[in-house]
Amino acid sequence: MASEAQQPYPGESAAPEQILLLADEYRSAAHLLRQSGRPSEPLSQAPFRLVAIHAIELYLNALLLHRGHPPSQVRGLQHDLAQRAELAVACGLKLRSRTAAHLAAIARNREYLVIRYGPELNGTSSRINRLTATLDELAKKVAMELAASRRASRKSDSPPRLALIKAA
């Protein structure tokens, strides 16, 4: 039996900007899902939590890829937001201490798994406001990091303004 050529892993060739756009879509969906949750029924917030955590993971992935981490290394982190955050901070991302602590707590408490499979453990999840704040902070800061790099690369690609004036 002939072996089939191994197909590339989905997202292997995605640009950091594409991952950022995907994260933005998940963030938008999370905000819509948050509105549909019922305060008297904590499990009704599970879809918001899952989508918010996924968006957070994507924002961190976009930054790590942008900073040159290979996709296979980022994938190898699985769903560990604490490791992703540590690498992102090492790459220059400045997180508020509460946000960094929250990302570590999400990983330590295995919230990604609890939200997906453990309705009986629902009381161990992050507070909705904290999760929303973490999501929104990462969205803003990662977008700013990628935009700043794009501006810097465009400036370095264009000839100096003074040279253009002298040439005219």
Q: How confident is the model at residue 153 (pLDDT cuts 50, 70, 90)?
A: low
The answer to whether residue 60 sits within a structural domain is yes
pTM (two decimals):
0.85
Q: How many domains does the chain have?
A: 1
The DSSP secondary-structure symbol of 44 reads G
Q: How confident is the model at residue 135 (pLDDT cuts 50, 70, 90)?
A: very high
The answer to whether residue 2 sits within a structural domain is no
Question: Cβ(85)–Cβ(95) under 8 Å?
Answer: yes
The answer to whether residue 8 sits within a structural domain is no
Cα separation of 36 and 90, whole Å? 37
Q: What is the pLDDT of residue 7?
A: 78
The answer to whether residue 7 sits within a structural domain is no
Q: What is the pLDDT of residue 148?
A: 84
The answer to whether residue 10 sits within a structural domain is no
117: enclosing H helix or E strand: helix 111-117
Q: What is the pLDDT of residue 17?
A: 94
The answer to whether residue 142 sits within a structural domain is yes
Q: How confident is the model at residue 156 (pLDDT cuts 50, 70, 90)?
A: low
Q: Name the percent of the chain lying above pLDDT 90.
A: 61
CB-based burial label for 106 (10 Å; 0-12, 13-18, 19+): buried
The answer to whether residue 162 sits within a structural domain is yes
Cα separation of 88 and 83, whole Å? 9
Q: How confident is the model at residue 158 (pLDDT cuts 50, 70, 90)?
A: low
Beta bridge mates, 41: 38
The answer to whether residue 3 sits within a structural domain is no
Tens-digit pLDDT profile for residues 60-87: 999 999 999 999 899 988 889 999 999 9
Q: Give the range of the structural domain holding residue 47, as residue numbers without chain letter.
A: 16-167
In sequence order, what are the residues at sequence separation of 6 or more whose Cβ sits closer than 8 angstroms to the Cβ of residue 42? Answer: 122, 123
* Averaged confidence pLDDT in the chain: 87
Tens-digit pLDDT profile for residues 93-127: 999 999 999 999 999 999 998 888 888 777 778 89
Q: What is the pLDDT of residue 89?
A: 94
Place of tokens 């904290």: 130
